[in-house]
Amino acid sequence: MVKPDEAICRAPDARAVEDGSSLSRFLRLIRFSHTIFALPFALGALLVASGGRPSARTFLLVLACMVLARTAAMLFNRLADWSLDQRNPRTATRHRLIPQTAVIFLLVAFASAFLFTASAINPLTALLSPLALAIIFFYSLTKRFTDATHFFLGLALAIAPAGAWIAATGSLALPPLLLGFGVICWVAGFDLIYATQDYEFDRREHLRSLVVRLGIIRSLRVAQWLHLAMFAALIGFGLVARLQFVYFAAMPLVAGALWYEHRSAARLDLAAINRAFFHSNAFVSALFLVATWTDLLLRVRHV
């Protein structure tokens, strides 16, 4: 059991960090496994917008944009926090994974590739892609001047379903806005839980977050309310998108996964928090996509 003022992970062994191929170290640097969090919401919005039948071209371009944008955002985050990460026991060896000059080169390459790929979808995605990139980069700077940094992270991920909807239809509508609101609440909630690990470090470095402002216990309560709002938004999305039984039948499982995450976080056990963070959130996003796709598939078959 960890006390709130001890909520910092130990730094990983430096030799373990430097092990592996250049590709594996790069994937660890950008936490590629966490791509599963936002991607299913983008693909779910794409499926609904296209009636369950997106063209292969649009599907592949949206998928590429998601991976490219997230990778560019993570590389920008690593550069913005390069010196901070070296002082944080939880991330102290992160800079050993890839040289800083290589990170700069890769950032330019992935950002350029995202802009090029987005411009190939339709005129509106081409027009909005620089704004999307600016928003997801901006999040990395917010901890220096606002307690609302968790909501900026949520906004960065909420761009995904809105962008996928625009890719399919060339316009925006109520369903992706509701889904985007849900993603903001979901991400802000789990980021509050995750940020408890850096409570002491953030206070010492004068970094801003709701965890620093409210303390760990009250922040976990706020996270509960945010996830309740996220659950309500998912119900609202299903209603306005005219989804049916399969989608709504999956919602109790979503609620159960969120409950498990908060139950684990309440113990203030860092190992439990990390397990719950990844497993619960990966389950929620994957279940959303499977339920949405299955619901639409059954509808198409009955037409």
pLDDT digits (tens, 9 = 90+) for 38-62: 899 999 999 999 999 999 999 999 9
With 60 as the cut, is the pLDDT of residue 131 above it?
Answer: yes
Among 47-56, 121-130, 294-303, the range scoring the smallest mean pLDDT is: 294-303
Separation between Cα atoms, residue 231 and residue 238, nearest integer Å: 11
The answer to whether residues 65 and 118 touch, using CB atoms and an 8 Å cutoff, is yes
Q: What is the DSSP letter of 146?
A: -
Amino acid at the residue 230: M
Separation between Cα atoms, residue 78 and residue 88, nearest integer Å: 13
What mean pLDDT is predicted for residues 257-285? 81
Q: What is the pLDDT of residue 195?
A: 86
**Total number of domains in the chain:** 1
12 token code pair: 């990983």
Separation between Cα atoms, residue 51 and residue 175, nearest integer Å: 13
Amino acid at the residue 182: G
Q: What is the pLDDT of residue 72?
A: 94
Separation between Cα atoms, residue 159 and residue 58, nearest integer Å: 17
What mean pLDDT is predicted for residues 60-69? 95
pTM: 0.87
Instruction: Say which CATH number the domain at 63 has.
Output: 1.10.357.140
With 70 as the cut, is the pLDDT of residue 20 above it?
Answer: no
Residue for token digits 């709504």?
Answer: 248
* Domain, as residue range, for 245: 4-302
Could you tell me the pLDDT band of residue 126, with boundaries at 50, 70 and 90?
Answer: very high
Separation between Cα atoms, residue 81 and residue 252, nearest integer Å: 38
Residue for token digits 């979808």?
Answer: 121
Handedness of CA 252, 258, 259, 261 (dihedral sign): positive
